[in-house]
Structure 1
Amino acid sequence: MAKSFGLAVLCVYLTLQLIAAFPYQNSLNGVEDNDSKLIGLEHSKAVKFAEDDFRKSLQPVLASTLDILEEHSKTLILESASFLDDLLVELNTLPEDNEYVKELIPELTSLLDRLEKLDLDNESTPALEEKAAVLLAIAKVYGNFDLIARSSDDSGEQAVVKKAFQKLESKGLNERINKSSKRAVDKFTTIFAPFWNSLSDEQKGEHANLADWYERYQAIESSQEKLKSFIEFLNIIHDIVIPKIN
């Protein structure tokens, strides 16, 4: 189970970092007329039009990428709710004189309540902020669980919690999170590869940082590492879609 929690911690923190890398989906429409006029002061018309065309062709890729990450975050939330629900059932059967368990149960009950109240399809700012806060809370809980699962101490108050983890290992948390990560990576690759292959050598050369990132991305074998590389990708895309104007 130690591996499961380690993976869960990684996935949740990666999701939070990805959200931070490109937090506002409305930025897809960030190329306003005034921005274009300012950009035109820095580039020739030909370069400007070519860049505008590139940015427009990139926007559907970015929108799909954000949708993929949203789907992955939903999976993390739903899987966490299911796991915490099962864990609370186990914890409530343990002796009442265990102080650690007595403190843990209300903490997890409160978190589960927040998870169950989330409207995963609500894209309003308050809803997205609550989702990010809940993901952070999940990551902290999984981090504590990971320490317990890896601990060699089988005599303390946390030992009974460790046994509960072991009992729930057959639930396949690790496997389902892995599948969600791989599914996200596969979907992204299916979307990005045709876009990249449709570009001219000149366009690729004008975005060397993106070309370098994609070359490294293709060489990565692990779905988790590929997912991690999305952070750099979104930061690169952020600078393209919302260029710095001096």
Structure 2
Amino acid sequence: MTGRVLVLGGTGEARRLATALVDDGVDVLSSLAGRVADPLLPPGEVRVGGFGGVAGLTAWLRAHPTAAVVDATHPFAAAMTAHAAAACGLTGVPLLRLQRPGWTPRFGDDWRRVDSLAEAATAVAGFESVFLTTGRLGLAAFAGLTARCLVRSVDPPEPPLPPRATVVLARGPFTVSDELALMRQHRVDVVVTKDSGGAMTAAKLTAARELRLPVVLVRRPPLPAGVPTVATVEDALAWLPDR
């Protein structure tokens, strides 16, 4: 295709899409939110930092001719997804949402689905040792827990944190054996995570199944109406040439 493609990134899918487009000679600009101190950068041009809401992104699209926007942000980056839908609607720039499927339960899983981090905190209030793998943002929802809390994130989380929190800084992918060892070491009796999908952090679900631990799973936020959505990089590449 001709013209610049703006990829709203920060995910493995966004990096793979940018790589494929750059390899095909497409002009790609990847935009990262800047929430991770040392992000994995895709090939091609990269900008770091927000646009300034709907107004900022709208102004940017009007000032920088763009053939298409692909929103490949995290499934829980609801604000950016909403901003992209609104700004592309105002400017007429074609928009595609690239979002990997959520996880599917298997035999032996004990998943307890909730709609928010606040509901997740309520759901684990009676447990003794909680493994929080929801990322460093939103941990304030768990600040009132009295249980031992194992908190894992890429960058150091900011307070407030649960008073008995142990922080582990790590970036996936994680293996099942590592997850089993970590959960046994900290005597975890419940896992809390978002339904992020993908293989990079799915090992904790396998480990929880093997240890017969319940998993409190936060549902994804709804997507904006009317935005075409695909689940794979290959489908995104197939959509782009017609734009």
Hey, which of these two has a bigger chunk of strand by percent?
2
Structure 1 or 2: more helix by fraction: 1
Could you say which structure has the greater relative contact order, defined with CA pairs below 8 angstroms and 6 or more residues apart? 1
